[in-house]
Amino acid sequence: MNKINYVDICCGLNWGDEAKGKIIAELAKTNEYNFVCRWAGGSNAGHTVYINGKKYKTHLIPCGIFYNISSIIGPDCVININSFNREIEYLKENGFNTDLIKISENAHLITDEHIEEDKLKYKSQGTTAQGIAPCYRDKYGRVGKQIKDIEYFKKYIWDNKLSGNVLCEGAQGFWLDINQGNYPYVTSSTTLPYGACSLGFSPKLIRKIYGASKIYDTRSGIDPDFPEELLNDEELLLIIKEGKEYGTTTNRMRKVNWLNIDKLIKSINISGTTDVVISKIDVLDKLKKFKVIYEKKIKSFDSLEDMKDFINNILNKSCSNVEKVIYSNNVEFVDV
Q: How far apart are the first and last CA of the chain?
A: 31
**CA–CA distance, 202 with 191 (Å, rounded to integer):** 17
Give how far Cα 65 sits from Cα of 7, 62, 154, 196, 248, Å: 18, 6, 19, 18, 18
47 catalytic per annotation: yes
Q: Which of 8, 47, 76, 108 does the annotation list as catalytic? A: 47
Give how far Cα 203 sits from Cα of 90, 101, 288, Å: 34, 24, 42
Give how far Cα 270 sits from Cα of 173, 203, 229, 281, Å: 13, 14, 30, 24
- Rounded to 5, what percent of the chain is helix, strand, coil? 35, 25, 35
Alpha-carbon dihedral sign for residues 168, 169, 170, 171 = negative
Q: Is the peptide bond before 184 cis (omega within 30 degrees of 0)?
A: yes
118 catalytic per annotation: no
Q: Which of 17, 76, 217, 275 does the annotation list as catalytic? A: 17
CB 19 within 8 A of CB 27: no
**CA–CA distance, 42 with 110 (Å, rounded to integer):** 9
Residues 6+ away with beta carbon under 8 Å from 266: none
Residues 6+ away with beta carbon under 8 Å from 256: 216, 217, 218, 219, 230, 236, 237, 239, 240, 243, 245
- Catalytic residue numbers? 17, 47
